[in-house]
Structure 1
Amino acid sequence: MSEISTLTIKIPLELKEKIRAIAADNQLSLSAEVCQRLENSFELPAKADKTAKKSAELHHGEIGQSGD
């Protein structure tokens, strides 16, 4: 298990309440929900890059086939 550190941040109350509600729906603590969302945010750019690259490759192939 990784080492745990404390991080104090200031966020709008409305955002905190949204996160708290989602955490409750997911049966997670507020801290666990925030950690999970932060971890996911680091994975999204890599997934988006792969998707964009694949889309560009497919699009390039379509252009090459149409003779444009």
Structure 2
Amino acid sequence: MENHEHSRVVELDAERLQALLLSDAVMTAYSITGSLSAATTLCSDLVDAELPHQYQVAAVLSKLHSIAMSRPKH
């Protein structure tokens, strides 16, 4: 039973990490677009459906960081 509980904790931690990454991705996209609607659309457009599900949010966040870094600085 202990092993099952450990697996569940690891699963919950992975879910929390995904939720945090998703939140960070949307906020990063919002800082790029200035609009929540445009931010969610941008995130959706950047999803690579060929990647395994658990890597998609991190890949979107990485692409958003690249976009943000290539923009002119104020």
TM-score where L is the length of structure 2: 0.39
TM-score where L is the length of structure 1: 0.42
Q: Which has the higher contact order (CA 8 A, sep 6+)?
A: 2
Larger Rg: 1
Write 1 or 2 for the structure with the bigger share of helix.
2
